[in-house]
């Protein structure tokens, strides 16, 4: 008796803890779902601005947009209730689980319901007043008057509510019976811990419905969590078929299998093959592909990779293992929210990548376009000059060509002329013409015949020899202009490359069109006709072959190849000159259009750098931090390690499966700081792990304070910074190795296109073995994203930082100053700087050339390195590769000496 009382009390306690913890888990899930929804709304707002302002091209905009189905999924999480869907091998398994879960005997168990009874689908939900109803797909309600009347306190569901009446015994038609069978029993009663956020849904038993139909009906308007109770010693064939079907219909849906001890009254005989039921069931579930020998811990480390695989789990002895049940629910809900936030996070990452690419493109465009235009000018001029020179110098050649063509074809043409038929002419018996008009006609037919063939011969000669333009010479200019033109929005404009094409055409005209009806061709004929006009006839000749031959050879002999050649060249010259003027004016127009376009590109570039990149980086900081928060919770803050200008650094024992971390807690006071932090975070997390750069583990935004939101950046922990280390002095050899580490780290960052912009003692951290890593990438940016802001720590700032146009060599300058400290083996300010009364005085002196003084301990090699690094002229500063080489020489020498 006492034992029983104790068990009941224990059960009550367990149950109340379970319900409290479950409520907490669901509350947390709902809170994060709402954050994610808000983040989606804010992201949408930013994306609308990006679209409205044409910051990205329409196809790029559509690539970052979150799809309709993803959007529906994200919005469904905070708005739809969770549904704990209870499946089992038997009805008893479901009833036992639900009753245990609710800690009351709501569903009738073995003594009341028979094994063969058809049990309907049941929904249990919280409501302040108890009631029950039968629903079809939630839209159609079959009311049976006494259901509500009989409900009373609703501590037990009557048998006839849950059992579908036998078809044979029922008075209903077959259709009505089907409706009656698929109807869902909805039980509403006060169940505070379920609240509005959780419902329990019990799958039907012994119904004829297909698994697919059951899944679609039961998951309607809820976020499902599938639970499968195994209440028999093993899975039977029909269970396996059902589970296989489930797996094929909903492959991404994980299931929590809960094995409970068999109820003796419903026990089925199981084959004993020497395995415990737990092992047998586990093996069966592995065979089905639901479970794997891979531990769940392994799965947890990479939740995205395993989103659809091996998320199912099994709990043995389910009723005594509610903490495991809760743990599964928490993991499952985490996966849902992580999936949602990952969708947004990926879109943010893609958007920032596109910004980065477009920043590169814009910077390149701004740099290259003016160069291309002047290149086009220069090349066209060269082309024009050489064409003119060529046509002038070709006159003799052309003359020779014409003469050669005439000589080559003279015999053939006169022979052909002899046998030429002259149609439409009536001749006398003596072969003479009857009228002067006929004689003229005969002459013109022969002339025409000769002219056409002669022209063909000349044209062939010219075209094969006037290969005056080299393809690559023209090709380069064409490509250059094509690139310029591609940037043009207005395609209907007459382009400079069309003008270029014209100039090439005219130069090649001889080659291209002489054989056909070109102007040049006509000109040749006209020219020749003019030359033959002088031909006169003394008496009326016989129109015989002799006559035809004499006309033909007369023509060919009288041809003035010099005049013809001159005429060809003048024509070519005129054409080239005209094309050139045309080209020049079109290129001018193109230049104007480009200069307007570049102005707006510069504006766009500024907007991308200064407004949109920080904005999306901030969204990304939120999405990534939220994901980390869901996955790993808030890190535990240990003792303070150090303080910077913007945040406090604390120890943190472990977080996200990493031991020995620090968390840098920053409370950005305004939007500018938020943006800086977001950018720092964005660039830092993109940097692949490198031994010389401090590793960022993750970030979390702590939303638990009402008036401020600290951002926690969690990083690997090192032992101290270089400032502290130098204060305590270090051997020379170690200091040189530290300098080498810093150079290596900087070279790595520069190789990624990044500029650190804040190299100083406190941003170099040392590990236990005094190896250095660069940290604090707050100002670190890709070179193309830098808008010339004045950032850094005064004494390390290069004078060119004040010109708003600077590059990665500002890091080389800062390294020079850092190296001065390293060589001085201390932290005392250089005397030359110490005398400056303010930051402004210091900067103005540095601009005038003031640098740290040489200390007596400095070797010549070291002094040379630092002085070269801090050269006023950025282009005179050495490459870091050179610095590394010099430092390595010093280091090796030191080793030998030691
Ligand atoms: N990963 C870390 N491991 C150990 N100590 C660290 C780590 N990060 C920072 N610290 C300590 O915390 C101090 C403060 O670091 P923080 O990056 O906030 O600022 P800072 O670089 O000193 O200055 P600022 O904020 O002006 O850039 C550092 O000087 C260093 O001593």
Share of the chain above pLDDT 70, in %: 78
pLDDT, average across residues 611-621: 93
pLDDT band (50, 70, 90) for residue 511: very low
**Residue 758 designated active-site:** yes
Atom of ligand 1 nearest to the CA of 716: 1
Among the options 758, 776, 800, 811, which is catalytic?
A: 758
Higher pLDDT among residues 595 and 42, named by residue: 42
> Residues 653-685, buried b or exposed e (16+ Cβ, 10 A)?
eebeebeebbbbbbbbeeeeebbbbbbbbbbbb
Cα of 263 to ligand 1 centre, how many Å? 62
Question: Using a 6 Å cutoff on CB, does residue 776 contact ligand 1?
Answer: yes
Which string of DSSP letters, residue by residue, matches 218-273?
A: HTTTSEEEEEEEE-SSS--HHHHHHHHHHHHH-TT--EEEEE-PPPGGGPPP----
Atom of ligand 1 nearest to the CA of 649: 12
Residue 766 in contact with residue 726, Cβ under 8 Å? Answer: no
Atom of ligand 1 nearest to the CA of 664: 18
Question: Using a 6 Å cutoff on CB, does residue 660 contact ligand 1?
Answer: no
pLDDT for residue 784: 57
Encode 367-400 in three state secondary structure. Answer: HHHHHHHHHHHHHHHHHHHHHHHHHHHHHHHHHH
Percentages (nearest 5) of helix, strand, coil residues in the chain: 60, 10, 30
Higher pLDDT among residues 353 and 318, named by residue: 353
Three-state DSSP state, 478: helix
Q: Any binding-site annotation on 664?
A: yes
Question: Using a 6 Å cutoff on CB, does residue 646 contact ligand 1?
Answer: yes
> Residues 726-745, buried b or exposed e (16+ Cβ, 10 A)?
beeebebebbbbbbbbbbbb
Ligand 1: residue of 776, 791, 796 to mutate (most ligand atoms within 8 A of CB) is: 776
pLDDT, average across residues 758-765: 93
Tokens describing residue 445: 């037919």
pLDDT for residue 153 is more than 60 = no
pLDDT for residue 330: 93
Residue 619 in contact with residue 701, Cβ under 8 Å? Answer: no
First-to-final CA distance of the chain: 84
Most distant CA atoms of the chain, gap in Å: 156
Q: What is the pLDDT of residues 27-68, one digit of tens each?
A: 999 999 999 999 999 999 999 999 998 888 888 888 999 999
Q: For 197, phi and psi rounded to 5 degrees?
A: -100, -10
Share of the chain above pLDDT 90, in %: 34
Cα of 516 to ligand 1 centre, how many Å? 81
pLDDT for residue 469: 43
Question: Using a 6 Å cutoff on CB, does residue 217 contact ligand 1?
Answer: no
pLDDT for residue 598: 87
Atom of ligand 1 nearest to the CA of 763: 21
pLDDT for residue 267: 56
Residue 875 burial by CB count (10 A; 0-12/13-18/19+): exposed, middle or buried? exposed
pLDDT band (50, 70, 90) for residue 2: very low
pLDDT for residue 823: 97
Distances (CA, A) of 807 to 72, 466, 700, 755, 789: 45, 51, 32, 7, 12
Atom of ligand 1 nearest to the CA of 717: 3
Question: Using a 6 Å cutoff on CB, does residue 718 contact ligand 1?
Answer: yes
Please enumerate in sequence order all residues whose Cβ is within 8 A of that of 859, keeping only pairs 6 or more positions apart, or say none.
890
Question: Using a 6 Å cutoff on CB, does residue 664 contact ligand 1?
Answer: yes
pLDDT, average across residues 842-846: 88
Residue 263 in contact with residue 110, Cβ under 8 Å? Answer: yes
Q: Which amino acid residue places its CA nearest to atom 8 of ligand 1? A: 649
Cα of 647 to ligand 1 centre, how many Å? 8
Looking at residue 427, the DSSP 8-state letter turns out to be B
Task: Report the relative pairing of strands 647-655 and 640-643 from DSSP bridges.
Answer: antiparallel
Atom of ligand 1 nearest to the CA of 646: 25
Interface predicted TM-score (ipTM) of this complex, two decimals: 0.97
- What's the whole-number average pLDDT of the chain? 81
Ligand 1: residue of 710, 775, 794, 796 to mutate (most ligand atoms within 8 A of CB) is: 775
The region of weakest confidence among 62-76, 238-252, 284-298, 520-534 is 520-534
Cα of 628 to ligand 1 centre, how many Å? 22
Q: What is the pLDDT of residues 730-748, one digit of tens each?
A: 999 999 999 999 999 999 9
Question: Using a 6 Å cutoff on CB, does residue 644 contact ligand 1?
Answer: yes
pLDDT for residue 811 is more than 90 = yes
Cα of 739 to ligand 1 centre, how many Å? 19
Three-state DSSP state, 699: strand
Question: Using a 6 Å cutoff on CB, does residue 642 contact ligand 1?
Answer: yes
Cα of 650 to ligand 1 centre, how many Å? 10
pLDDT for residue 222: 95
Q: Which amino acid residue places its CA nearest to atom 26 of ligand 1? A: 645
Question: Using a 6 Å cutoff on CB, does residue 792 contact ligand 1?
Answer: no
pLDDT for residue 37: 97
Measured CA to CA, the distance from residue 773 to residue 137 in angstroms comes to: 62
Ligand 1: residue of 635, 637, 644 to mutate (most ligand atoms within 8 A of CB) is: 644
**CA torsion angle 73 702 624 356 (round to 10):** 120
pLDDT for residue 514: 38
Residue 637 in contact with residue 650, Cβ under 8 Å? Answer: yes
CATH number of 719-897: 1.10.510.10
Cα of 649 to ligand 1 centre, how many Å? 6
Please enumerate in sequence order all residues whose Cβ is within 8 A of that of 216, keeping only pairs 6 or more positions apart, or say none.
none
Higher pLDDT among residues 608 and 789, named by residue: 608
Atom of ligand 1 nearest to the CA of 793: 26
Question: Using a 6 Å cutoff on CB, does residue 667 contact ligand 1?
Answer: no
Q: What is the pLDDT of residues 653-696, one digit of tens each?
A: 999 999 999 999 988 888 888 888 888 788 888 889 999 999 98
> Residue 77's closest CA among 325, 253, 339?
339
pLDDT for residue 151 is more than 50 = no
| CA 356 to chain CA mean position, Å | 10
Ligand 1: residue of 638, 639, 648, 649 to mutate (most ligand atoms within 8 A of CB) is: 649
Tokens describing residue 857: 């301990």
What is the torsional sign of CA 872, 876, 877, 883? negative
Question: Using a 6 Å cutoff on CB, does residue 649 contact ligand 1?
Answer: yes
Three-state DSSP state, 142: strand
The region of weakest confidence among 133-137, 282-286, 631-635, 758-762 is 133-137
Residue 657 in contact with residue 712, Cβ under 8 Å? Answer: no
Ligand 1: residue of 635, 640, 642, 698 to mutate (most ligand atoms within 8 A of CB) is: 642
Cα of 486 to ligand 1 centre, how many Å? 49
Q: Which CATH number fits domain 81-147+155-260+276-290+310-319: 3.40.50, 3.30.9, 3.30.70, 3.30.565?
A: 3.40.50
Which string of DSSP letters, residue by residue, matches 150-216?
A: HHTT-SS--HHHHBPPPTTT--S-HHHHHHHHH-EEEEEE--TTTTTTEEEEE--BS----HHHHHH
Measured CA to CA, the distance from residue 633 to residue 39 in angstroms comes to: 19
Residue 750 in contact with residue 324, Cβ under 8 Å? Answer: no
Q: Which amino acid residue places its CA nearest to atom 18 of ligand 1? A: 644
Q: What is the pLDDT of residues 437-495, one digit of tens each?
A: 888 888 888 878 887 787 777 767 665 555 444 444 455 566 666 666 565 544 434 45
Question: Using a 6 Å cutoff on CB, does residue 638 contact ligand 1?
Answer: no
pLDDT for residue 124: 93
Question: Using a 6 Å cutoff on CB, does residue 794 contact ligand 1?
Answer: no
Alpha carbons within 13 angstroms on the beta-carbon side of residue 290 total 25
The region of weakest confidence among 73-82, 590-599, 825-834 is 590-599
Cα of 324 to ligand 1 centre, how many Å? 40
Cα of 193 to ligand 1 centre, how many Å? 46
Question: Using a 6 Å cutoff on CB, does residue 641 contact ligand 1?
Answer: yes
């Amino acid at each position: 008796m006492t034992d029983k009382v104790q068990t009941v009390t224990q059960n009550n306690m367990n149950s109340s803890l379970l319900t409290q913890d479950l409520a907490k888990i669901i509350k947390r899930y709902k809170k994060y779902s709402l954050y994610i929804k808000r983040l989606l709304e804010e992201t949408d707002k930013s994306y609308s601005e990006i679209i409205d302002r044409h910051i990205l091209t329409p196809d790029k905009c559509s690539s970052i947009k979150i799809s309709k189905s993803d959007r529906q999924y994200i919005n469904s999480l905070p708005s739809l209730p969770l549904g704990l869907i209870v499946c089992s091998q038997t009805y008893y398994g479901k009833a036992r689980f639900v009753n245990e879960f609710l800690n009351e005997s709501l569903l009738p168990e073995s003594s009341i319901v028979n094994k063969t009874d058809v049990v309907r689908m049941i929904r249990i939900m919280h409501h302040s007043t108890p009631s029950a109803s039968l629903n079809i797909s939630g839209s159609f309600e079959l009311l049976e008057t006494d259901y509500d009347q009989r409900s009373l306190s609703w501590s037990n569901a009557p048998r006839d509510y849950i059992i579908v009446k036998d078809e044979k015994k029922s008075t209903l038609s077959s259709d009505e019976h089907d409706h009656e069978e698929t109807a869902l029993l909805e039980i509403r009663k006060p169940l505070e811990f379920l609240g509005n956020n959780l419902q329990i849904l019990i799958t039907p038993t012994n119904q004829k419905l297909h698994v697919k139909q059951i899944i679609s009906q039961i998951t309607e308007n809820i976020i499902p969590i599938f639970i499968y109770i195994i209440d028999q010693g093993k899975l039977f064939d029909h269970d396996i078929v059902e589970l296989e079907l489930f797996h094929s219909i909903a492959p991404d849906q994980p299931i929590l299998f809960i094995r409970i001890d068999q109820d003796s009254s419903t026990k089925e005989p199981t084959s004993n093959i020497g395995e415990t039921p737990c092992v047998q069931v586990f093996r069966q579930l592995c065979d089905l592909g639901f479970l794997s020998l891979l531990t769940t811990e392994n799965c947890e480390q990479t939740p995205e990779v395993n989103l659809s695989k091996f998320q199912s789990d099994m709990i043995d002895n389910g009723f005594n293992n509610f903490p495991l049940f809760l743990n599964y629910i928490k993991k499952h809900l985490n996966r849902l929210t992580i999936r949602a936030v990952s969708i947004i996070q990926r879109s943010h990452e893609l958007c920032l990548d596109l910004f980065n690419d477009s920043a590169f493109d814009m910077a390149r465009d701004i740099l290259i376009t003016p160069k291309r235009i002047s290149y086009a000018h220069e090349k066209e001029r060269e082309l024009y000059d050489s064409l003119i020179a060529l046509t002038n110098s070709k006159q003799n050649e052309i003359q020779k060509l014409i003469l050669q063509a005439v000589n080559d074809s003279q015999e053939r043409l006169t022979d052909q002329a002899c046998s030429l038929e002259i149609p439409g002419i009536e001749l006398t018996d003596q072969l003479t013409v009857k009228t002067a008009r006929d004689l003229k006609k005969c002459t013109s037919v022969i002339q025409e015949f000769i002219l056409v063939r002669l022209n063909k011969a000349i044209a062939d000669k010219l075209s094969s020899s006037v290969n005056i333009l080299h393809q690559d010479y023209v090709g380069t200019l064409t490509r250059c202009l094509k690139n310029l033109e591609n940037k043009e929005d207005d395609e209907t404009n007459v382009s400079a490359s069309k003008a270029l094409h014209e100039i090439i055409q005219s130069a090649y005209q001889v080659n291209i069109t002489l054989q056909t009806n070109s102007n040049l061709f006509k000109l040749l004929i006209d020219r020749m006709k003019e030359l033959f006009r002088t031909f006169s006839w003394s008496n009326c000749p016989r129109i015989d072959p002799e006559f035809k031959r004499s006309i033909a050879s007369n023509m060919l002999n009288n041809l003035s190849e010099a005049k013809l050649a001159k005429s060809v060249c003048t024509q070519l010259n005129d054409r080239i000159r005209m094309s050139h003027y045309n080209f020049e004016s079109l290129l001018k127009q193109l230049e104007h259009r480009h200069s307007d376009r570049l102005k707006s590109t510069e504006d766009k570039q500024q907007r991308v750098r200064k407004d949109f990149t920080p904005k999306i980086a901030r969204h990304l900081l939120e999405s990534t931090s939220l994901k980390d928060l869901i996955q790993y919770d808030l890190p535990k803050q240990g003792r303070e390690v150090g303080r910077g200008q913007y945040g406090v650094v604390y120890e943190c024992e472990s977080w996200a499966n990493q031991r020995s971390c620090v968390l840098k807690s920053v409370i950005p006071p305004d939007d500018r700081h938020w943006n800086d932090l977001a950018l720092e975070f964005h660039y830092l997390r993109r940097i692949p792990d490198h031994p010389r750069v401090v590793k960022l583990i993750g970030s979390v935004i702590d939303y638990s304070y009402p008036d401020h939101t600290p951002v926690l950046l969690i990083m690997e922990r090192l032992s101290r910074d270089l400032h502290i280390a130098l204060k305590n002095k270090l051997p020379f050899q170690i200091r040189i190795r530290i300098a080498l580490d810093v150079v290596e780290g900087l070279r790595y960052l520069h190789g990624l296109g990044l500029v650190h912009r804040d190299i100083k003692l406190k941003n170099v951290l040392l590990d236990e073995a005094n190896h250095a890593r660069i940290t604090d990438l707050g100002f670190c940016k890709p070179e193309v994203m830098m808008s010339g802001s004045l950032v850094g720590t005064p004494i390390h700032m290069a004078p060119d930082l004040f010109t708003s146009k600077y590059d990665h060599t500002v890091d080389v300058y800062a390294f020079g100053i850092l190296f001065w400290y390293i060589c001085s083996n201390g932290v005392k300010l250089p005397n030359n700087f110490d005398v400056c009364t303010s930051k402004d005085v210091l900067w103005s002196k540095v601009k005038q050339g003031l640098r740290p003084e040489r200390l007596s301990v400095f070797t010549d090699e070291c002094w040379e390195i630092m002085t070269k690094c801090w050269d006023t002229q950025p282009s005179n500063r050495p490459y870091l590769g050179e610095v590394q080489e010099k430092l390595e020489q010093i280091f090796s020498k030191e080793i030998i000496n030691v």
